Structure 1
Amino acid sequence: MAILRSLKRTAGVLTGLGVGTLAYLGASTTIISPIPADDPIWGSNSYSKYNPHRNPPTQDICVKRIPLRKIKPELLEKEGDLALELCRGVWGGLGYRLQRSYLSRKYHDPSTSSQLWTVDQLTQSSYEPGTQLTDHFEVVEKTPSEIVMRAGDSPLKNPGPRDADGLFAISATIDRDRQEAVLGLKSCFFTSKGKVEGMPMPVWIELLHRWYSRVLLEMGSWRVTR
């Protein structure tokens, strides 16, 4: 399964980060699981479309709060700019470098040449619905506060039901009461190929995924802070 193979390759990166860095990531980000029942993802068109059997998902949200004084001021002038720039930072940043390099070596060929592969492409795209990147993600929804992507397999080779399927949402909202930007990575992975009862990931892969989410969000946040 593409998701599992990708996550396994992050194990070495996480091991190399060191105890201090992992402690910082644990303190500066928060994992919420399960995703709250009133979260919009459960009623979204994408969730209904890609998980028609309502199979049990591996689900969580990684959250990072940053004081507004530390956010680049130009990103607070127009609604949507903060979420877009965070999305650019996640995919074009250091956190995704290993996975992007692997996917590029394996899948970057003439059939995927229209997708986003380079750092310049990933940090300049507007991430409109239909945008595909690194033969692994495709934008399926975009609002001013959230960009939702389908994940799990190549959007070219397997556009239909998949053994490994899911939604990955990058979001940014403003908490005016606390004067903070709330950055988030929401993951909802499931099997869409028929009805199943079990969870789509082993527990150890799920834990690895959550640390990878922390890395992606932390390094993605560098692009929106001064």
Structure 2
Amino acid sequence: MKNILIIGAGGCGREVLQWIKDINAVSSTWNIKGFIDDNPDALEGLRCDVSVVGSIKNYVPQPDDRFVCCIGNSNVRKQVIENLEARGAVFESVVHPTSIVAESALLGKNVVLYPYSIISDNAELGDGCIINMHSTIAHDSVLGEYCTISAHCDVTGMCRLGDRVFMGSGARTVPGAKVGSDVFICAGSTVMSRIKDGMKVIGVPAKKAAF
């Protein structure tokens, strides 16, 4: 079995720890080596049977190590992955056994698919995307790199999302919507048309946020 190290001991990382255990329950795949986090006390007071074994800044990747990055902030996740890859780290995707991925779908590198996520016919995910619980990427939709899709989101058919898009819980897009890069879609919002790069939007229909 390969060693797996989880980058980030926050909520996302601890959730992915459980998804890795679920994968191992189906087929022994990884030896869970520990968390990598710059806060050595990140797990203090929490119920967790895996410890922080090093810092992101100082950890030296070993030949048998594999990594999964579980940092919710898309820009930070991209930076951490690229920095560690430059130091020789090899990243893995984590796909929960209950997620559904169509045969025609394309997944980039270093993606994380939470339980009950669905990647439908001819959908595409860029490198480093995280798709949370009960979220759907419908047919022919394309997500750029390092998008973060929270729980219970619905990217409907033929949509285009740029790089580093964040969708809050329960957000959705109508079919054919276009979302630029570095867009923040607040929880519960519905994108009805086109959202320009760098915007933060809220509401139904989603409009530029006033905060």
TM norm. shorter chain > 0.5: no
Q: Which has the higher strand share?
A: 2
Q: Which has the higher helix share?
A: 1
- TM-score, structure 2 as length reference: 0.28
